Amino acid sequence: MSDKGKIFLGLIVFIVAVTYPMWGGVFAKTPAPDVQLPDGKCIESRDYMVANHMNMLDEWRDKFVREGEEIYIASDGTEHAISLTKTCMKSGCHDNKTEFCDKCHTYADVDPYCWDCHVAPDQVAPKGGN
């Protein structure tokens, strides 16, 4: 049993290597995203939107495209058109994809395919402008 030391050393190296992805981030210094929030109020509370915007958009697309619903009634009773580009990304709200959407999505390493089709206002010329 003279190889005890080597076996334990190998086991430690193995455990460290395998669990690295779980604790490796503790030492990494990735700054929290500095998201530019527009003035004014979103259709729901900030906390709700941070946690649930993806679910809301997912529900919206089925409601609008498949069920023909056009109006979302927010929890405070206000009505909003169900539209990513005409409501969320309208001028004065989240009209800057690079500074708003991308900041967090890059930080969280998620890559939603919304803008494969939907047109972000800060990435293209206005209507008829090309």
Partner 1 sequence: MDDSRRDFLKKASIASLGIAALPVLSAGVRAVSGHGAATDSIQWGMVIDVQKCDNKALADAAQKACHTEHNVPAVPADLKDEEIKWIWTEAFQNVFPEQAHARMAHKLHDKQVVVLCNHCDRPSCVRVCPTKATWKRKSDGIVMMDMHRCIGCRFCMAACPFGARSFNYSDPRKFMDTEKPANTLYPTRSMGVVEKCTFCADRIREGRQPACVEAANAIVPGAMVFGNVNDPESEIYKYLTENHTLVRQLNLGTGPNVYYKL
Provide the binding-site residues for partner 1, judged by CB under 8 A: 61, 65-66, 68, 70, 85-86, 113, 116-119, 121, 124-130
CB of 84 to partner 1, least distance (A): 9
**Closest CB to partner 1 among residues 31, 129:** 129
- Nearest distance from residue 119's CB to partner 1, in Å? 4
Q: Give the shortest CB-120-to-partner 1 separation in angstroms.
A: 9
> Would you say 53 or 107 has its CB closer to partner 1?
53
How far apart (Å, rounded) are the C-alpha atoms in residues 93 and 88? 6
| DSSP annotation string for 55-117 | HHHHHHHIIIIIT---EEE-TTS-EEE--IIIIITSTTSS--TTTTHHHHHHHTT----HHHH
